[in-house]
Structure 1
Amino acid sequence: MSRRSQSGDAEAREPLLVGDDEPNPSDLDSDEGETIFDRSTVSHTCDAERGAQRKLTYEEAVEEAGFGLFHVLLLLACGWANASDAVEILCVSFLLPTARCDLLLSSSDMGLLTASIFLGMMVGGYLWGYLADQRGRRRVLLVSLTINGVFGGLASLAPHFWLFLLLRFISGLGVGGSIPVIFSYFSEFLPRLRRGSMISALATFWMAGNILAAGLAWLVIPRTWVQFPLWGLDFQSWRLFVVLCSIPSLSSALVFRLLLPESPKFLMEAGREKEAVHVFSLMFEVNHWGQHKTFPIFGLRTSSPAARDTGQRHGPISLCKKILGPIRELFRGQLRTRSISLLIIFYCISFGYYGLWMWFPELFKRAEDGGSPCSNMSRSSSLNNHTGCYPVKTAVYMEGFVTAASNLPGNIFTIIMMDSIGGKTLLFCSLLMSSVSVFLIYMVQTKGQSLILSCVFSGVSVIAWNALDVIGTELYPTQLRSSALGFFTGVGRIAAIMANMVFGKLVDTSCAVPILLVSALLLVGGLAARLLPQSKHTELS
Structure 2
Amino acid sequence: RLTYEEAVEEAFGLFHWLLLAVCGWANASDAVEILCVSFLLPTARCDLQLSSSDMGLLTASIFLMMVGGYMWGYLADQRGRRKVLVVSLTVNGLFGGLASVAPWFWLFLLLRFISGIVGGSIPVIFSYFSEFMPRLRRGAMISALATFWMAGNILAALAWLVIPRTWARFSLGKLDFQSWRLFVVLCSVPSTSSAVLFKLLMPESPKFLMEQGLLPIKQMFSGSVKARSIVLLIIFYCISFYYGLWMWFPELFARVESSGGSPCANVSVPSALNNQSCYPVKTAYMEGFIIAASNLPGNIFTILIMDSTGGKTLLACSLIVSSLSVFLIYVVQTKAQSLGLSCIFSGVSVIAWNALDVVGTELYPTQLSSALGFFTGVGRVAAIMGNVVFGKLVDSSCTVPILLVSALLLVGGLVALLLPQTRQTELT
Given the two structures, how large is their TM-score scaled by the length of structure 1?
0.77
- CA distance in structure 2 between the partners assigned to 1:535 and 1:388 by the alignment: 49
| 8 Å CA contact retained: 2:163, 2:279 | no
- CA distance in structure 2 between the partners assigned to 1:338 and 1:348 by the alignment: 15
Name the residue aligned to 1:251: 193
Letter of the 2:115 counterpart: S
Bigger drift between 354-363 and 387-396 goes to 387-396
Residue of structure 2 aligned with 1:166, choices 110, 113, 118: 110
Name the residue aligned to 1:96: 41
- CA distance in structure 1 between the partners assigned to 2:150 and 2:410 by the alignment: 23
Name the residue aligned to 2:124: 181
Pairwise CA distance, 1:377: 2.4
Pairwise CA distance, 1:242: 0.4
| 8 Å CA contact retained: 2:255, 2:276 | no
- Structure 1 residues 296-340: Cα deviation after superposition (integer angstroms, max 9, x where no partner): xxxxxxxxxxxx36xxxxxxxxxxxxxxx7331101011011100
1:330-369 equivalent positions in 2, closer than 5 A: 330-352=220-242, 354-368=243-257, 369=259
- Structure 1 residues 117-167: Cα deviation after superposition (integer angstroms, max 9, x where no partner): 112x01111011000011100000000110111111000000000110011
Name the residue aligned to 2:150: 207
The change in CA–CA distance for 1:58 and 1:365 in structure 2 (over 3 A counts) is same
Name the residue aligned to 1:392: 280
Letter of the 1:209 counterpart: G
| 8 Å CA contact retained: 1:146, 1:174 | no
| 8 Å CA contact retained: 1:338, 1:532 | yes
- Structure 1 residues 433-466: Cα deviation after superposition (integer angstroms, max 9, x where no partner): 0000000000000011000000000000000000
| 8 Å CA contact retained: 1:410, 1:459 | yes
**Residue 77 (structure 1) aligned with residue 19 (structure 2):** no
- CA distance in structure 2 between the partners assigned to 1:435 and 1:203 by the alignment: 21
- CA distance in structure 1 between the partners assigned to 2:128 and 2:67 by the alignment: 20
- Structure 1 residues 496-535: Cα deviation after superposition (integer angstroms, max 9, x where no partner): 0000000000010001100000000000000110110000
SS of the aligned residue for 1:229 comes to: strand
Residue of structure 1 aligned with 2:60, choices 115, 118, 127: 115
SS of the aligned residue for 1:367 comes to: helix
| 8 Å CA contact retained: 1:144, 1:173 | no
Pairwise CA distance, 1:63: 2.6
| Structure with greater Cα Rg | 1
- CA distance in structure 2 between the partners assigned to 1:391 and 1:153 by the alignment: 22
Residue of structure 2 aligned with 1:196, choices 121, 134, 139: 139
**Residue 500 (structure 1) aligned with residue 412 (structure 2):** no
1:316-327 equivalent positions in 2, closer than 5 A: 326-327=216-217
| 8 Å CA contact retained: 1:118, 1:172 | yes
- Structure 1 residues 91-130: Cα deviation after superposition (integer angstroms, max 9, x where no partner): 00000010000001000000000111112x0111101100
The change in CA–CA distance for 1:381 and 1:111 in structure 2 (over 3 A counts) is farther
Unaligned runs of 5+ in 1: 1-53, 271-307, 310-324
Pairwise CA distance, 1:57: 3.0
Name the residue aligned to 1:522: 409
Residue of structure 1 aligned with 2:203, choices 261, 273, 295: 261
| 8 Å CA contact retained: 1:410, 1:462 | yes
SS of the aligned residue for 1:371 comes to: coil
The number of residue pairs the alignment matches comes to 427
SS of the aligned residue for 2:93 comes to: helix
SS of the aligned residue for 2:421 comes to: coil
Pairwise CA distance, 1:382: 6.2
Residue of structure 1 aligned with 2:293, choices 397, 402, 405: 405
Name the residue aligned to 1:468: 356
Name the residue aligned to 1:50: none
Name the residue aligned to 1:328: 218
| 8 Å CA contact retained: 2:82, 2:204 | yes
1:62-73 equivalent positions in 2, closer than 5 A: 62-65=8-11, 67-73=12-18
- CA distance in structure 2 between the partners assigned to 1:129 and 1:136 by the alignment: 10
- CA distance in structure 2 between the partners assigned to 1:451 and 1:190 by the alignment: 38
SS of the aligned residue for 1:375 comes to: coil
- CA distance in structure 1 between the partners assigned to 2:119 and 2:37 by the alignment: 14
1:364-443 equivalent positions in 2, closer than 5 A: 364-368=253-257, 369-379=259-269, 383=273, 390-443=278-331
| 8 Å CA contact retained: 2:268, 2:397 | no
Unaligned runs of 5+ in 2: none
Once the two structures are aligned, what percentage of the paired residues are identical?
80
Pairwise CA distance, 1:61: 2.2
- CA distance in structure 2 between the partners assigned to 1:129 and 1:493 by the alignment: 15
| 8 Å CA contact retained: 1:148, 1:172 | yes
Residue of structure 1 aligned with 2:335, choices 440, 447, 460: 447
| 8 Å CA contact retained: 1:435, 1:523 | yes
Pairwise CA distance, 1:170: 1.3
The change in CA–CA distance for 1:71 and 1:380 in structure 2 (over 3 A counts) is farther
- CA distance in structure 2 between the partners assigned to 1:491 and 1:378 by the alignment: 32
Residue of structure 2 aligned with 1:242, choices 176, 180, 184: 184
Given the two structures, how large is their TM-score scaled by the length of structure 2?
0.97
The alignment yields a C-alpha RMSD, in angstroms, of 1.4
| 8 Å CA contact retained: 1:366, 1:380 | no
Name the residue aligned to 2:377: 490
SS of the aligned residue for 1:377 comes to: coil
**Residue 141 (structure 1) aligned with residue 85 (structure 2):** yes
| 8 Å CA contact retained: 2:45, 2:278 | no
- CA distance in structure 2 between the partners assigned to 1:210 and 1:63 by the alignment: 32
- CA distance in structure 2 between the partners assigned to 1:465 and 1:496 by the alignment: 14
| 8 Å CA contact retained: 1:193, 1:419 | yes
Pairwise CA distance, 1:391: 3.9
Pairwise CA distance, 1:380: 5.2
* Higher helix content, 1 or 2: 2
SS of the aligned residue for 1:234 comes to: strand
Pairwise CA distance, 1:225: 2.3
| 8 Å CA contact retained: 2:254, 2:276 | no
- CA distance in structure 1 between the partners assigned to 2:129 and 2:14 by the alignment: 14
